Structure 1
Amino acid sequence: MREDFLHYIWKYKKFQINNLKTTAGEPVVVTSVGQHNYNSGSDFFNAKLKIGEQLWAGNVEIHINASDWFLHNHEQDPAYDNVILHVVWEDDTEVFRKNSTPIPTLVLKNVVDEALLTNYQRLFAKENKWINCEGSFAATDAFVLTNWLERLYFERLERKSETIESLLQASNNDWEAVLFKMLTKNFGLKVNGDSFFSLAQSIDFSIVRKTQSNLQALEALLFGQAGLLNQDVENAYYSALEKEYQFLKVKFKLSNSNVLPIQFFRLRPPNFPTIRLSQLANLYATHQNLFSKLIEGNTLEDFYNLFKVSTSEFWKTHYTFQKESKASTKMLSKSFIDLLLINTILPIKFSYAKQKGQEIDAEILEIASLLASEKNSIVNAFNSLKKVSKTSIDSQALIQLKTAYCDKHKCLQCAIGNALINT
């Protein structure tokens, strides 16, 4: 038995509300269960009850065992003097306020539907399961699942907007600077994401603004801060970058001591950091006001056109500084742009609209619905239970479901868990 289950029972009145009685035999009529409190203090504020012939307005405290009142030292806390009802599963002792007056106690154990309790126990059975409902996930009603996934998608956008808001504060509300940091991180993908983000953090965006009209200078800035210009390489392009970076380093008092190491290991050549940094430099050399253009874009085609960039000339025949390779135009692929849309562009547009008090949920959904589902271990595992992830809305929602609900056993706050418990 978990205390959050008792909160759920009380909050949604999942008990026999007629003929309720306290342990002292007084009848209880619940007019309002009160407001659920997730912070310190009583579990429910401002409940309205009739106990015996007396009308009460105050707080409700819930415990598995009545003795938990003393275990939590509530008898010493004057904040609990306004508790009008103690709701418990097991009544193992009488409880008192600080002034020694007894608090009426209601026992839920005998007034909860047996089927609800059985479903709850089945859901939380202690087995080695990936998620609690994995045996029942496939049977989830399609309407419940679709609506829940859409809600989870926006929950994930909200979570990402918190990161964006934090970056905004650190950047004096400079949206272009925040976009640069988030784009740089996502150009690094999973392997180099943190390294690329530390690289972006090491450069004041004003320096990017001053160098972005010169592609070679911008490449030198990114490669140099990434620690990629300290090798023993002999070619004209590398020497030019090295010379340019030394000039920029002195001019702008640059330091890369906090930049995390860049990785090449286990990456396909098109994802090498050299290629991604050159593409990023080309993107900013091509678009002087990238943030404004992203905000103005409202179709998938707008974004594909905006990100139609490749590397500089040297990288058409190289993947590293040292070794020449077969010539190829290394454009940003559609699948890569899709990842940028999912992880950077749509969250940025959502956060910006939120700050401006604008409603663009329908626009966000329309674009996200056109992007294919991501492929990762979480999405693959859900799909093995039921083929559910078709678009980026689904895959982002499933990541949110697993990390914010399943992993934390918040089944009672999940639409799927609720549906299973109330079957």
Structure 2
Amino acid sequence: MREDFLHYVWQHQYFDKSDLRTSAGEEIQVLRPGHRNADAGPDFLNARLRIGEVEWNGAVEIHLRASDWARHNHQIDPKYDQVVLHVVGNHDADVARTNGSLIPALALQPRLMPELLARYQALIEAPAAAPIPCAPLLHLVPEITKTVMTERALLERVERKADAVLALHQHLGQDWEATAYHAVMAAFGFQKNNEPLARLAKALPLAVLRRHRHDQRQLEALLFGQAGFLADNDETIGDAYIQDLKQEYAFLRHKYDLGSNALLVHEWNYLRLRPANFPPVRLGQLAGLLHVRPALFEALLTAQNTQALTQFFQVPAPAYWRTHFRPGRPGKVPGLGKSSIELLITNVVVPLRVAYARHVGQLDVVESSLALLAQLPAEHNQFTDVYEALGFTHRTAADSQGLLALHKSYCAPRRCLHCAIGSRLVQKPRAVQ
């Protein structure tokens, strides 16, 4: 048994409450179990209890063993002085607040419903080879429960991404255009090179780039120079285009004192990448986009549908980067593909719009932003395929994002009791008709 099971039991009061007493024999009445605390401190806040003749309003802390209180050093943490009841599986020690006053304890182990515990253990003890812990029991879960949980996981995933955008927005002095620039730059790394491109955005401030956006040659010199791609080697030494950019970059680097922040060529990742996804190719596509679309944020915020967003991103790279995979290395290079644009809409546009909507209080924009995901086709990978095989709805990118969130936040860490599906199964399930 894990501690999260005791949390679940206390939250829903799924235990025998007849003649409920503390370990010292005082009668307990649970008037309100409290609400889960997502921050540091006791597990449940704002509980209302009657212990003996006294009514208490305070916190409840939960442990498998009462002695865990001391192991976690709660006896010296003032945050835990508000605890009015210590709920434990096994009461093996008395515990006290920082002032030495004893805290009443309730032992739940003897009061647990055996069938509830058995269903919980069936979930958490599922074989590691099982696709997801509840796979053998999914036929007992109504379709609406799976749908609602997938939608909840989707919203949580988008909210987490929006939180990251808002943190970036705050760091950039609440400049939404700069926020869009940094977010788009990082996303063009398509996982393998997100981090170097995020650092490139920092190394080449938007304030500098804005001054040269209308001069494509200078724009490319700034981007490729700061990225470290203009260094001489056997392939570039005789390349007139690269040498011209190098000369222009030397002037701009000195003018804006950029050299100390420039990346080095070895900081970029090529391992197991197809040539069409090489960093210089993506940077060339970014150069085309930043030259033709000087106002990123406004366009991404106001686009009415995914078709408009697709057109926004379908900007040809500069001529050289349509015929070179790397500086000095020629080859026919495809443009930004449909699947790449769909990933940009999913991972940049939607979180950016949701973050802005939350910042200004326009909740209708949240709904319209999530609706964009329903306009995109489903993503297929090793994780979504598992859920699709188990009968989960998987028709659009909204479904894909929800299933990915379900896997990462609930199924993989086996947080079954936090999931509506797992909670339904731990309760007394009925076969679906």
| TM-score normalized by the length of structure 1 | 0.89
Q: Distance in 2 between matches of 1:77 and 1:306?
A: 54
Provide the residue aligned with 2:170 in structure 1: 169
Matching residue within 289, 295, 300 for 2:301: 295
1:214-240 per-residue CA deviation (whole Å, 9 max, x = no partner) reads 112111211111211113422332222
Provide the residue aligned with 2:89 in structure 1: 89
SS at match of 1:50: strand
Provide the residue aligned with 1:395 in structure 2: 400
1:17-72 per-residue CA deviation (whole Å, 9 max, x = no partner) reads 34423445544322111233344444333322233444343433333223444545
**What amino acid is aligned across from residue 250 of structure 1 in structure 2?**
H
Provide the residue aligned with 1:37 in structure 2: 37
Percent of aligned pairs sharing the same letter: 38
Q: Distance in 2 between matches of 1:73 and 1:228?
A: 53
Unmatched runs of 5 consecutive residues or more in structure 1: none
Q: Distance in 2 between matches of 1:243 and 1:69?
A: 66
Q: Is the 8 A contact 2:146 2:392 kept in 1?
A: no
Unmatched runs of 5 consecutive residues or more in structure 2: none
Alignment of 1:346-365 (within 5 A): 346-359=350-363, 360-365=365-370
Q: Distance in 2 between matches of 1:81 and 1:320?
A: 62
Provide the residue aligned with 2:378 in structure 1: 373
Deviation at 1:357, TM superposition (A): 0.8
1:243 aligns with 2:247: yes
Provide the residue aligned with 1:46 in structure 2: 46
SS at match of 2:181: helix
1:344 aligns with 2:348: yes
Q: Distance in 1 between matches of 2:149 and 2:240?
A: 57
Range moving further from structure 2, 229-238 or 333-342? 229-238
1:302-355 per-residue CA deviation (whole Å, 9 max, x = no partner) reads 2122122111222333333334445x7x43222211111011111111111111
Q: Is the 8 A contact 2:229 2:327 kept in 1?
A: no
Q: Distance in 2 between matches of 1:267 and 1:100?
A: 61
Q: Distance in 2 between matches of 1:80 and 1:307?
A: 53
Alignment of 1:16-31 (within 5 A): 16-31=16-31
**What amino acid is aligned across from residue 285 of structure 1 in structure 2?**
H
**What amino acid is aligned across from residue 361 of structure 2 in structure 1?**
G
Deviation at 1:264, TM superposition (A): 3.6
Q: Distance in 1 between matches of 2:98 and 2:208?
A: 63
Deviation at 1:296, TM superposition (A): 1.4
Alignment of 1:55-74 (within 5 A): 55-72=55-72
**What amino acid is aligned across from residue 122 of structure 1 in structure 2?**
A
SS at match of 2:400: helix
Q: Is the 8 A contact 2:23 2:104 kept in 1?
A: yes
SS at match of 1:62: strand
**What amino acid is aligned across from residue 197 of structure 2 in structure 1?**
F
Q: Distance in 1 between matches of 2:80 and 2:292?
A: 63
Q: Distance in 1 between matches of 2:401 and 2:51?
A: 48
The 3 A distance-change label for structure 1 pair 101 and 278 is closer
SS at match of 1:389: coil
Alignment of 1:98-177 (within 5 A): 103-125=103-125, 127-129=127-129, 131-137=132-138, 140-177=141-178
The 3 A distance-change label for structure 1 pair 139 and 391 is farther
Q: Is the 8 A contact 1:37 1:44 kept in 2?
A: yes
**What amino acid is aligned across from residue 215 of structure 1 in structure 2?**
Q
Q: Distance in 2 between matches of 1:104 and 1:38?
A: 23
Range moving further from structure 2, 190-199 or 90-99? 90-99
Q: Is the 8 A contact 2:373 2:396 kept in 1?
A: yes
Range moving further from structure 2, 291-300 or 233-242? 233-242
**What amino acid is aligned across from residue 413 of structure 1 in structure 2?**
H
Deviation at 1:126, TM superposition (A): 7.0
Range moving further from structure 2, 247-256 or 93-102? 93-102
The 3 A distance-change label for structure 1 pair 353 and 69 is closer
**What amino acid is aligned across from residue 349 of structure 1 in structure 2?**
R
| TM-score normalized by the length of structure 2 | 0.87
Deviation at 1:399, TM superposition (A): 2.7
Q: Distance in 1 between matches of 2:370 and 2:351?
A: 12
The 3 A distance-change label for structure 1 pair 7 and 309 is same
Provide the residue aligned with 2:225 in structure 1: 224
The 3 A distance-change label for structure 1 pair 376 and 164 is same
Alignment of 1:164-243 (within 5 A): 164-232=165-233, 233=236, 234-243=238-247
SS at match of 2:109: coil
Q: Distance in 2 between matches of 1:239 and 1:230?
A: 9
Provide the residue aligned with 1:305 in structure 2: 311
Deviation at 1:14, TM superposition (A): 1.1
Tell me how large the CA RMSD over aligned residues is.
2.8
Deviation at 1:205, TM superposition (A): 0.8
Between Structure 1 and Structure 2, how many residues are aligned? 421
Q: Distance in 2 between matches of 1:307 and 1:75?
A: 57
Q: Distance in 2 between matches of 1:316 and 1:39?
A: 50
**What amino acid is aligned across from residue 134 of structure 2 in structure 1?**
C
Alignment of 1:295-334 (within 5 A): 295-325=301-331, 330-334=334-338
Deviation at 1:394, TM superposition (A): 2.2
Provide the residue aligned with 1:421 in structure 2: 426
Q: Is the 8 A contact 1:149 1:393 kept in 2?
A: no
Deviation at 1:275, TM superposition (A): 2.3
Deviation at 1:134, TM superposition (A): 4.2
Range moving further from structure 2, 200-209 or 271-280? 271-280
Range moving further from structure 2, 177-186 or 269-278? 269-278
